[in-house]
Structure 1
Amino acid sequence: MSRWLVDGWQVVIGLETHVQIKSSRKLFSRSSTSLLNDLPNTRFNTFDAAFPGTLPRLNRKCLDLALRAALALDCTVNKRSSFDRKHYFYPDQPAGYQVTQHYSPFAVNGRFVSPKIGVPIRIKQIQLEQDTAKSITNSRTRSSLIDLNRAGTGLLEIVTEPDFRSPEEAADYVRSLQELLRAVGVSDGNMEAGSLRCDVNVSINRPGEPLGTRCEVKNINSVKFMVAAIEYEIQRQKNILETFHSEHKVPQETRRFDVDSWRTVKMRSKEDAPDYRYMPDPNLGVLILSEGHIESVRREMPPLPEATRARLIQTYSSSGVTENNIDVLMNLDAIKEIPYDGVSNSGLGAVAYFERCAEGRDSKFVMNWIIQDFLGRLSALGKPFSSAHIPVGKMGELLDLIAEKQMTRSSAKLLLQQMLTAPSDVPVKLLAKQMDLLSPVAKQATISPTSDDTLRDICIRCIDALPAEIAALRAGNEKVMNRVIGWIMRHTKGKADINRAKEILKELLQL
């Protein structure tokens, strides 16, 4: 992607991404992390509510997942790090401070190359911190309530250097980061549910001049909103600088994105570190990581997305599977939540599902069927991909019936629809037989074994029934063939072999 200018202005963007760690417990307490359908104030304990005398205890699983993220982003892991208190007084912060790692984060100096951007993005640091509670405002009663369910949930703050030069680059980074974090099981990365939120720092300057004053847009939970916020900030800051020339600078502010007006709105003047009165947390002390601990996490790391993509291309491209096919499966796996720490699994990922189905079968045939028919039918039904809809074993049976010509593709689509809308334990072939979908070869008990003779008789009847279409065919109009074949398929309930039907028609018509 080009490193572009806007009307002669250079755009400089940095991101701070807050990622909810995929653990069933909070960062410093034994309380369970909350789900979207949990009732307010049902997932917290006395430590989360900042009762006096309660003490923190670091969740080891949160730490291990944080290490996974650091290793995946090619960071240097500090073997000694510490926790700090970031003081600010809002109703959603019961203790009056947030525990974070301001002075000595556990990972620094990373590097991430998004496949689409192609330019290395420097990761300044990754730090562990607590999430806040949630404010719920009732506009009718003009009151605000506090839900403590989210308070104390483990977060990773991933801070980049200001290496982005366009909204599109920032968007590609966030999407690629989501894919990476999901692949290694660190987070589900669901922005709509608040599992991944971005603070965006934007400034503009003339090329060759010092960087401009940055403004921060807080808590953006959608890539679309992030792009819109950056575009608005670029235009807003450009208007200020071009209207007042050098007499005024862009004021340093913290802003938010208003989804109703589609613009950023000032929240407050930008705080600097002294405003937060950072101090070491006396209850947590120093976090010491051994080389053995780091290496044990590295050994258990799932494959990174690019390694998986490269392996799939190398394994299946020779059989006709395309990179676009592989990207479809990879994108499905990027959406899928990966289980960790007791979180329930929804089945195999799309890549694993394909590879299991392709064992001993034509991989291109399997890929085309999964992408075009299985995923297409799921989309029509409004269902997300899950291997639970049709387990690998049953999908394999269905594919074998098609490959062995015991069922036509049209009949298989009807059977697939039935399997998705009315799941049952009936074996696939038996279900096809009950629905009268097996081809003549597979139904020797009810149809003559000489299936060509049966198909020939149907083709003769078709010639008699469609005189206008047959005349057009004889005149060389090949497009009419689809209508003729459609008649044959209707009268065979989709069981005819289309290619053989065409051969018989051409033989009878002497074409």
Structure 2
Amino acid sequence: MLRLTRCAYLRSQLFKAVRNFSTSEGSIKDGWEAVIGIEVHAQLNTKTKLFSDSSTSYNEHVNTHVSAIDAAFPGVQPRLNIHAVEQAVKAALSLQGQIQKRSTFERKHYYYPDLPQGYQITQQREPISRGGFIQLTELDGAKIPAKIGIHQIQIEQDTGKSIHDMRPGESLLDLNRAGIGLIEIVSKPDIRSSYEAGLYVKKLQQLLQWVDVSKANLEEGSMRCDVNVSVRKQGDSQFGTRCELKNLNRIRILSAAIDAEVTRQIELLENGIPVHVETRRYDELRNTTYKLRDKESAPDYRFMPEPDLPPLLLSEDFIDRIANSLPELPDVSLDRIMKQYNLSLFNANLLLHEYKCLDYFERVCEGRDPNTVTKWMLNELSGALAAKDKTFKDNPISSKRFGGLLDLLEKGTTTVNKGKLLLKLMLDDPSEPLDIVRKNGWLTMSDSAQLESICKDIVEKNADKVN
């Protein structure tokens, strides 16, 4: 059985994913158009929760990071985490949003067992940011470039977690997540297909990870998506009745759920049956959506100003300081490195998003051939790390030592095959590459006079064979 390198495996998986992903583009029936908006909830990278000093550590033992504030004891008061505000501003600026110098908090009332207060503190009416957009281009996989507008970004607190599958007939509550800071990113209804929706969520996820605002891990739950879907006849300027799809935790599931809901709504309308405003879930086995509950409207939530939190006032200096701390954004980096290092789109995406090792790559490239660096990083180094179940984040070989290995190959100090063995040893041996080569007797002889002397000696000792 052939063993694929890590890079070759990723390439095969990517092509398979693109092929499967692309099939959803033709799922909308002729004459109809989907209108889609997405609400993304992303947990902020903070050490403590939004309104308390409880830790935000993920996957800790249940109910071990719960303070009196998180559990909503009577008389407790929230205190806003300034680092969460900084992270929210950073996210908004990276999405080209307009930061609001004055924003306010409100209570959104609804009852659910994992919401201890009986309300959620959020920013519905006066959010921290308005506007912004994500641009989808051919480099993202879009067939036609699209600009997806952002309606607003608001800060809010997360709920706890309900566990329904541990004890038959019982639901258990874990409040470790309750009160963790979130941003809710509300898109405009600018998305027209499940494929476009998948590209939007993927790009948003990569951006939040890039600027280190959120882990944005869909399967872990640090990023969650609710999707509003409606359909209308092509050319119709009026929006149809929208239904909300809840808790879609993978991009493939999100795309499939949208296609199923679009098909359901079109079938209803073509049979003269109106679409009702509902919150729905997706059944992956049956590839259909089902009603969860009637969709609440704003009056149902009885929004009221949060009496324990004053308005959030941000100075121009505060906003400028965060803006100046932003790294080069992914779209700019992708375009730059493809041109600067003559990289393919696939390799550039591996460096930026899969391995997240662009800084490492650029340090190694200083004074070296980018093609050689790319080949050895994305094939040999990634393969050696994968064999030890390590990621680039855990890579023990510094850019200086890795560059030293490439220099030995460039000078002919050792062979390519020995270089591959050397790379594997460097994962466990902190010595300099040249020292490891010498220790193992892998030096290549390049002195022609010395080589000629050795050859003559061999010929003289084997005269009969020479004759």
Q: TM above 0.5, one fold?
A: yes
Instruction: Report the AA paired with residue 18 of structure 1.
Output: H
Specify which of 167, 170, 175 is matched with residue 202 of structure 2: 175
In 1, the alpha carbon distance for the partners of 2:294 and 2:224 equals: 21
2:84 is equivalent to residue 62 of structure 1:
yes
Structure 1 residues 82, 452: CA separation in 2 closer, same or farther (over 3 Å shift)?
farther
In 1, the alpha carbon distance for the partners of 2:126 and 2:41 equals: 18
1:419 aligns to what?
426
Q: CA deviation at 1:141?
A: 2.8
Query: How do residues 15-30 of structure 1 correspond to structure 2 at under 5 angstroms?
Result: 15-30=38-53
2:451 aligns to what?
450
2:364 is equivalent to residue 364 of structure 1:
no
2:426 is equivalent to residue 403 of structure 1:
no
Q: CA deviation at 1:454?
A: 5.8
CA contact (8 A) 1:183 1:303 kept: no
1:266 aligns to what?
291
2:258 aligns to what?
230
Q: CA deviation at 1:259?
A: 4.0
Query: How do residues 135-146 of structure 1 correspond to structure 2 at under 5 angstroms?
Result: 135-138=162-165, 140-146=167-173
Partner-residue secondary structure (3-state), 1:191: coil
In 1, the alpha carbon distance for the partners of 2:267 and 2:450 equals: 81
Identity, in percent, stands at 42
Partner-residue secondary structure (3-state), 2:191: coil
Deviates more, 1:283-292 or 1:133-142: 133-142
* Residues 380-423 of structure 1, C-alpha deviations (whole Å, 9 max, x = no match): 54432226332222212211111111121111112223333xx1
Specify which of 119, 131, 145 is matched with residue 109 of structure 1: 131
* Residues 66-109 of structure 1, C-alpha deviations (whole Å, 9 max, x = no match): 01111111112111111111111111000000000111111112
Structure 1 residues 451, 360: CA separation in 2 closer, same or farther (over 3 Å shift)?
farther
> Matched residue pairs, number?
432
In 2, the alpha carbon distance for the partners of 1:429 and 1:390 equals: 14
2:327 is equivalent to residue 302 of structure 1:
yes
2:159 is equivalent to residue 154 of structure 1:
no
* Residues 445-487 of structure 1, C-alpha deviations (whole Å, 9 max, x = no match): xx993179769x89xx9xx9xxxxxxxxxxxxxxxxxxxxxxx
Instruction: Report the AA paired with residue 161 of structure 2.
Output: K
Query: How do residues 356-505 of structure 1 correspond to structure 2 at under 5 angstroms?
Result: 356-386=363-393, 388-420=395-427, 423-441=428-446, 449-450=450-451
CA contact (8 A) 1:134 1:151 kept: yes
* Residues 424-465 of structure 1, C-alpha deviations (whole Å, 9 max, x = no match): 223322323333433234xx8xx993179769x89xx9xx9x
Instruction: Report the AA paired with residue 48 of structure 2.
Output: R
Unaligned runs of 5+ in 1: 334-348, 465-511
Instruction: Report the AA paired with residue 390 of structure 1.
Output: I
Deviates more, 1:89-98 or 1:307-316: 307-316
CA contact (8 A) 2:27 2:259 kept: no
Structure 1 residues 389, 259: CA separation in 2 closer, same or farther (over 3 Å shift)?
farther
Partner-residue secondary structure (3-state), 1:28: coil
Q: CA deviation at 1:221?
A: 1.2
Please give the root-mean-square deviation of Cα atoms over the aligned residues, in Å: 2.6
Instruction: Report the AA paired with residue 443 of structure 2.
Output: L
CA contact (8 A) 2:28 2:263 kept: no
2:230 aligns to what?
203
In 2, the alpha carbon distance for the partners of 1:224 and 1:329 equals: 23
CA contact (8 A) 1:127 1:156 kept: yes
In 2, the alpha carbon distance for the partners of 1:384 and 1:50 equals: 40
Q: CA deviation at 1:42?
A: 1.1
Unaligned runs of 5+ in 2: 1-21
Q: CA deviation at 1:134?
A: 0.5
Instruction: Report the AA paired with residue 10 of structure 1.
Output: E
Instruction: Report the AA paired with residue 85 of structure 1.
Output: R
1:280 aligns to what?
305
Instruction: Report the AA paired with residue 180 of structure 1.
Output: L
Structure 1 residues 392, 452: CA separation in 2 closer, same or farther (over 3 Å shift)?
farther
CA contact (8 A) 1:332 1:385 kept: no
Pair member with larger Rg: 1
Partner-residue secondary structure (3-state), 2:267: helix
Give the TM-score, by structure 1 length. Answer: 0.79
Q: CA deviation at 1:27?
A: 0.8
